[in-house]
Amino acid sequence: MELTDAGLVARVLVDDDQHAYGELVRRHQSSVRGLLRQLTRGDFALADDLAQDAFIRAYRNIRSFRGEAKFSTWLYRIAYNCFRENARKRKELVGINEEQWQSEQDPQTVDAGLRHDLMHALSLLPLPERAAVLLCCQQGLSHDEAARVLDIPLGTVKTNVLRGREKLKKTLAAWGQQ
């Protein structure tokens, strides 16, 4: 029988079992790397470095995981913190202001392919909205879980999801509901 995340975490805590931790990494690497790839606007190398850093940090701090939230939620929070710290270090301005976003709405600039357009539209969202939309709509977290990951109030998460969705819908309006 396959062990649950909680069971694997218990093995890591009690026996310092790195094989169990390897299984946790295997289970969550795709979603964590995917989230970071989109937060870094498609910088795969940076996203993978951050994901690696996040998993190592999670292992070092696994005793602080109390099982109140899902392991994946706890992991997303660490990954998001790694991303924020890195962004601060690089002094990169995460997010694009409204004016710039509006100027990108010219349909002529929209590339072919819905997926490409969606990624493009996502990358134009300001970080708080992008992160909230990615966590809630793509990764399937509840608003409450996303608030924990992003360390912001629940109401702010709801607002950011709503705003992000509106902007995405506007950008993708040309595609209709195909």
Residues that bind other proteins in the complex, under the rule CB under 8 A: 16, 18, 21-22, 25-26, 29-31, 33-34, 37-38, 48, 51-52, 55-56, 59-60, 66-68, 114-115, 118-119, 122, 133-134, 137-140, 165, 168-169, 172, 177
Residue closer to other proteins by CB (options 124, 168) is 168
Residue closer to other proteins by CB (options 22, 153) is 22
Cβ contacts of 45-53, under 8 Å, gap ≥ 24: 46/86, 50/79, 50/82, 50/83, 50/86, 51/79, 53/82
- Cα distances (Å, whole numbers) of residue 101 to 8, 160, 171: 44, 15, 10
**Closest distance of CB 51 from other proteins, Å:** 7
Residue closer to other proteins by CB (options 90, 169) is 169
**Closest distance of CB 61 from other proteins, Å:** 12
Amino acid at 123: S
Residue closer to other proteins by CB (options 48, 104) is 48
- Spatial CA neighbour of 51 closest among 71, 35, 73, 68: 35
**Closest distance of CB 145 from other proteins, Å:** 16
114's tokens: 């819905």
How many other CB atoms are there within 10 angstroms of residue 81's CB atom? 17
**Closest distance of CB 65 from other proteins, Å:** 12
Residue closer to other proteins by CB (options 38, 72) is 38
- Spatial CA neighbour of 83 closest among 60, 57, 117: 57
- Spatial CA neighbour of 80 closest among 53, 108, 112: 53
**Closest distance of CB 87 from other proteins, Å:** 21
